[in-house]
Structure 1
């Protein structure tokens, strides 16, 4: 079987024919289905409904889910390869894909009951519906233990009350994984994760946020007022919700790291192409050392980020501890994405400030990768904790 191989500290990243096929399929989809209209969707903050439908049909919304539940049964490396290619073109679509794969589908498959998997996971993995992961609150962002949303135990059901903020897929999802406090006295050990369906009485979706970047993805606040959630919709044992959220986010960081990598790589590719076409002082600007140095540093940092992302993915696939590796990949890749996109705008000069050339959008999209699914500061805390264990 043909393969491409990278080695890092004894770890092999074997890109099999299947890996390369996934990468090519994602690249073709991004170029042919996402690139047309991406500027308009960003400008108008228009949810990519048709593109998301196509992602579902192509298997990009349940890549790592077992075929038993309608998924692709692929490994994490396949997932990050696809995330990178899609993120090069449209980070709004890639964050929709990331949340559905990393946070919702993975969490349900890893910790959900068989009944929950049959009822919800099969629909999510096929792209029939998409999901949302609801942890953040007005006073619970980086401090995820400070949950004010409550789930009062009423016997056969929980009575859910509270507000969630910054929820990706907040308006377009059909299935929501909601963290809520059942026993305040137990603090984070009293948190549960409940599966909530759109349309339940008392469940209200707030206005769509007007964001700096990833504007085509829909981000909403969610309000719950005496929402009755059946006991069978609790994931895991009573009090398992916080562990569920943290475990799921560890894997989610790999997806966001891959998104950041894709944004950086997309900006670099645009800058390289532009530098070879744009002429100044009688020659292509690539021939000027100042531009060469920028591009050389960009490609070097992007390759370093890629190796970190691949390492985290491979550790996860091998069933090894990947917490530190995922945090390192997200921390570094998100910083590279922010830096590389600013440099890409600089290479383009005045054209870089114009929407037509795409790099200003990538620069705006890059910033969120340093914030969501754990800020860069939180990643440093995670890494520090892991290296002193």
Structure 2
């Protein structure tokens, strides 16, 4: 078929990959692995897609989560991959958390589920000081705990918006951690994922921000399960994780360098809380299985081809990566359409989808090649491209 290239030309492409077959792992993983999953829209029920609550296809949204759990992966629910603050509001996220936890409790593997708690049910105009931010967080923490999920304290846009310094972060996080029922996961999302988070932890200098975050963790280590870092900086993550107190995990959110970070440097390694794992679940699961068995050659063979795919999906502007996750779900039959909350599928260009298609094939991640070709041809036709033309 003909696929568009980044150079603005059409290039002939034939599928060459051998599809990986999703399956349950044969051994327990030696790394905790959360896949951050997206939300499947119900385009028929959708009304005024740029305003109000999105229409969700709950059946297929939850079916996708079962697919991840069946492969031994945990779930990071209602995070930025689920378009929090970019098409999905708190009430929808709360319902998503509640529905997911019901399914997780009934699943035979009893999968681990951590859920995002933030402040996005309040406008920034309502969050002008630390007390208001704490109260907003508490509302969502209570909802997550009531549903039975582990809390992820999502980075909030409200703290940078009030130019909070390290002391304010220490006060807010210290209060929340002491009130939390169980140890939580902290969340450091770089401004490449959300420009409104620039200066998180009270400093634009990464070294100073790291010190502030580590001070909070050190002061409340018994209430911190770990911290997810998404800065796309391997050297920073390696240095940061070496400074963590014993028992506190580093969950990589580095969708560019996850293979090396998860494998580790012989002394330390990262766990995973990654949006890309939802797109590459068979490769991720089977690579983690190989790593647990000491088979590093298979680990690299399975995971390394996914890195180029992930770097394309998460290319700048990085916040639009969710479109690539949903695109591959559509390619692989997890949903019948390529419509996202707020029409988010339009955030990437057709040449991007052509490249994601190529790289997914080469990584063995187009599970049904005939279906993928048919759906890619449909998308090309919508862009005025005859993909079958020779």
TM-score (norm 1): 0.29
Higher relative contact order (CA 8 A, sep 6+): 2
TM-score (norm 2): 0.29
Structure having the higher strand fraction is 1
